[in-house]
Structure 1
Amino acid sequence: MPIDIVVDAMGSDKAPDPEIRGAVLAARHYDVRVHLVGPEDILRPILRQHVQHQKHLPIFITPASEWITMGDKAAQAVRTKRDSTMRVGLKMVREGLASRTTSGHGHGKAAGFFTAGNTGAAMATAKMVLGMLSGVDRPALASAVPTTRGVPSLILDVGANVDCDPDNLVQFAVMGHIFAQNVLKVPNPRVGLLSIGEEDSKGNSLTRDTLPMLRSLPGINFIGNVEGRDIYNGNCDVIVCDGFVGNVALKASEGIARLVTTSLREALKSTVTSQVGALLSRRAFGDFKKRLDYNEYGGAPLLGVRGVCIVGHGSSNEKAVMNGIRVAAEFAHAEVNAGIEAALLSSTATP
């Protein structure tokens, strides 16, 4: 049965074209119904161009007269833009949750939301409209990153919370464990605490205070402190850190990925011999570039809110939007939030 996913059609840097193209790709390839939220007079003509030969694709438009830009101050925009694409879309998810709770199924109401818009506004709107899961103090953005073993690892938080306490990191560990297990299909995820050394004594006061709490956490395969290289070597499945550290690590990684692909492309074009080699290795280079491309991962799930919210990169293209819709559908199907609440309840239960 198709699952309904809402897309903020005015979120990305080049909106609404990537969102509409991505919605068309998702509707073709996955069992989803896509609801584009935005001004109908802007969206309808563009959508008509892309579906003129495929008029029966399950793509619908939900009107919203306002949208939050990257330049808007998140807190102010969330308060003043009451008909924003984010608020309208997340309300559809809230209605879908209420419908499934009372009737056992959604009756077409939305099961998830994707935006490539202002991250701070998306987080604030999701908290306000959807509310928080029981046992969660703060939501966390989780990002899948490539590893040398060919399977992604998950790092959280990557920017939702600059300042955290040990209880927040413990909750992040539980949420990351459940997401990796249910969506990334890792049977027994190895959870590590990001620090500057593997020894228990290494790190700052936050990591040193969090370490014993994670060691005593039931049901979590905690492997201790991990270092920055462990994000990419495949030795750890879930890497836990505060949002300041995680965001710096993620942005640095994106920069390194661009450096490597650009340098390799230039090197392959530098001489006649290398150009011949480039022609022969084009497929391998394509596979290499694909592994480093954040568009393949769609977006970062906002874990901890009572609903499914995926936040994509502002420069997301249609492939990223398509994959963001896919991730939202997988998140909803896997019932991750119920697993998080049950795991947190178990971890805080007294013997």
Structure 2
Amino acid sequence: MTELTIALDAMGGDQGPGIVVTALERALSSFTHVHFILVGDEAVLTPLLQRYPKVVASSRVSMQHASQVVAMDDKPSAVLRAKPDSSMRGVLELVHNGTAQGCVSAGNTGALMAMSYLTLKTLPGVLRPALVASLPQQDGGQSLLLDLGANPTCDAETLCQFAVMGSVMAQQVNKQAQPRVALLNMGREDLKGHDVVKHAAQLLKASTHVNYIGFVEGNDLFSSTADVIVCDGFTGNIALKSCEGLAELLYDNLRKSFSGHFFTKLVAKLLFRRHRKSWQWLNPDQYNGASLLGLRGVVMKSHGNASANAYFSAISHAIDEAAADLPSLIHDRIEDALLERVTDQRD
């Protein structure tokens, strides 16, 4: 298996570098072909690493000093000017110069998107990068939702490119041979929706590079109807955060309902043990990690308050994308799609 290098922003996120290093320790055991570069403040990381002897002893871990940290409330424009030696910029530079094949950061989302665009640039022909994440499905599988906020407004051409990029990711990472692609809309009927989404639907119907199945609604997000669901960043961000809020409400209510009487606690524990595998697909940690598609490198955004297990999932997703060389595959498919459009317009 080809050896890979993944750069980790040790200073990003709400939980501090301890989460990153704990996830790294697990990743060393799980991915024996991968090297890791830990980027951050040596004065903070060096004493912390003493609590992780396996990480310190590993020949597959190196550390790169970064004197600055991007705070979660920093403005992206200010970060670009004032923090050139941040740990976030460091991991992106490692991908840019080819030292690493991918990077992971739990830092400021806006700053990461702006800095990624500046440092890595988009692939030739790609109009805009898209933020994409996995959603659990009723059948136990996963679907992809994009865009999640990188582009609040999009034209029809951009939505079509998102469909192409999402389709390539579904094929290469989720191993779906003919991923079903849909547009998120306010109804399934062709007459529903605004002009942009209607125009995008017409373009996708004419494309041979995606398996377009039509419109889906918000209640289809987890129904296994589609493998790739496309929308503008404004819609996608609200949809995702609404789902996250509902999940938190359900988990909290379930926890409270089983935390009172001794008997209910016992029943809850027995049920969990008996149906652990059946419920594992609901664990949000395994879906942590949103990819920035369309860039000349693999960039994985972990949730800011991710646990070590969740951050490990983000590392796993970055490794999968880097191993598949996803940016190159997206470049090839986008190029073919653009040639198809030019040919159709000539005809």
Shorter-chain TM-score tier: over 0.9
User: Normalized against structure 1, the TM-score is what?
Assistant: 0.92
Contact 1:112 1:328 in 2 (8 A): yes
The Cα shift of 1:41 comes to 1.1
Counterparts of 2:168 and 2:55, CA distance in 1 = 41
SS of the aligned residue for 1:49 comes to coil
Counterparts of 1:249 and 1:122, CA distance in 2 = 21
SS of the aligned residue for 1:62 comes to strand
Verify: 1:178 aligned to 2:179, yes or no: no
The letter for the 2-side match of 1:40 is E
Within a 5 Å distance, the mapping from 1:80-91 to structure 2 comes to 80-91=82-93
- Match of residue 103 from structure 1: none
| Regions of 4+ moved over 6 Å | none
Verify: 1:280 aligned to 2:270, yes or no: yes
SS of the aligned residue for 2:57 comes to coil
Question: After superposition, what is the alpha-carbon deviation per residue over 1:5-61, rounded to whole angstroms, capped at 9, x for unaligned?
Answer: 000001010111111111111112113211110111111111121126872362221
The Cα shift of 1:242 comes to 0.4
Counterparts of 1:284 and 1:177, CA distance in 2 = 36
Question: After superposition, what is the alpha-carbon deviation per residue over 1:52-102, rounded to whole angstroms, capped at 9, x for unaligned?
Answer: 687236222111101111110011112210101111111111111xxxxxx
Distance 1:271 1:49, change over 3 A: closer
The Cα shift of 1:343 comes to 1.2
Identify unmatched segments of 5+ residues in structure 1.
Answer: 97-108
Counterparts of 2:19 and 2:69, CA distance in 1 = 16
Within a 5 Å distance, the mapping from 1:27-176 to structure 2 comes to 27-30=28-31, 31-51=33-53, 55-56=57-58, 58-96=60-98, 109-176=99-166
- Match of residue 197 from structure 1: 187
* RMSD of Structure 2 on Structure 1 (CA): 1.7
The letter for the 2-side match of 1:268 is F
Distance 1:188 1:255, change over 3 A: same
Distance 1:207 1:275, change over 3 A: same
Counterparts of 1:305 and 1:256, CA distance in 2 = 32
Question: After superposition, what is the alpha-carbon deviation per residue over 1:186-241, rounded to whole angstroms, capped at 9, x for unaligned?
Answer: 11100000001111111122212211011111121000001112210111000000
Contact 1:269 1:278 in 2 (8 A): no
The letter for the 2-side match of 1:6 is A
- Match of residue 11 from structure 2: 10
Contact 2:24 2:55 in 1 (8 A): no
The letter for the 2-side match of 1:332 is A
Counterparts of 1:266 and 1:228, CA distance in 2 = 28
SS of the aligned residue for 1:261 comes to helix
The letter for the 1-side match of 2:334 is L
Contact 2:50 2:56 in 1 (8 A): no
The Cα shift of 1:317 comes to 1.4
Distance 1:131 1:345, change over 3 A: same
- Match of residue 300 from structure 1: 290
SS of the aligned residue for 1:316 comes to coil
Counterparts of 1:246 and 1:272, CA distance in 2 = 42
- Match of residue 101 from structure 1: none
In the alignment of these two chains, the number of paired residues is 339
Greater CA deviation, 80-89 or 270-279?
270-279
* Percent identity of paired positions between Structure 1 and Structure 2: 38
The Cα shift of 1:150 comes to 0.3
The letter for the 2-side match of 1:43 is L
Counterparts of 2:170 and 2:249, CA distance in 1 = 29
- Match of residue 21 from structure 1: 22
The Cα shift of 1:181 comes to 0.4
Question: After superposition, what is the alpha-carbon deviation per residue over 1:129-148, rounded to whole angstroms, capped at 9, x for unaligned?
Answer: 11110111111000101111
Counterparts of 1:55 and 1:272, CA distance in 2 = 45
Contact 2:104 2:315 in 1 (8 A): yes
- Match of residue 317 from structure 1: 307
User: Normalized against structure 2, the TM-score is what?
Assistant: 0.93
Identify unmatched segments of 5+ residues in structure 2.
Answer: none
- Match of residue 102 from structure 1: none
The letter for the 2-side match of 1:95 is N
The Cα shift of 1:284 comes to 5.0
Verify: 1:223 aligned to 2:213, yes or no: yes
The letter for the 1-side match of 2:50 is R
The Cα shift of 1:282 comes to 2.0
